[in-house]
Amino acid sequence: QALQRGIDLFDKDVDIGLIAVTKTEAGSCSNKTMPTAKIED
């Protein structure tokens, strides 16, 4: 939800993606389809 609120701050014409990382978790959000990758142990 926090990442989506950040995305919502930008004009819809701006392609934007946000990434959040903590010691134990990670998440991402974007307003357009963007490439992603995930590293798993």
What angle (nearest 5°) sits at the alpha carbon of residue 35, between those of residues 31 and 36? Answer: 100
Domain assignment of residue 21, yes or no: yes
Q: Is 36 among the domain residues?
A: no
Cβ atoms within 10 Å of 16's Cβ, excluding its own? 16
Distance, in Å, from the CA atom of 7 to the CA atom of 4, rounded to the nearest integer, reads 5
18 bridge partner residues:
29
Number of domains in the chain: 1
Query: Structural domain of residue 14, as residue ranges?
Result: 1-31
Residue 8, in any domain of the structure: yes
pLDDT on residue 33: 93
Express each pLDDT in 1-41 by its tens digit: 999 999 999 999 999 999 999 999 999 999 999 988 888 87
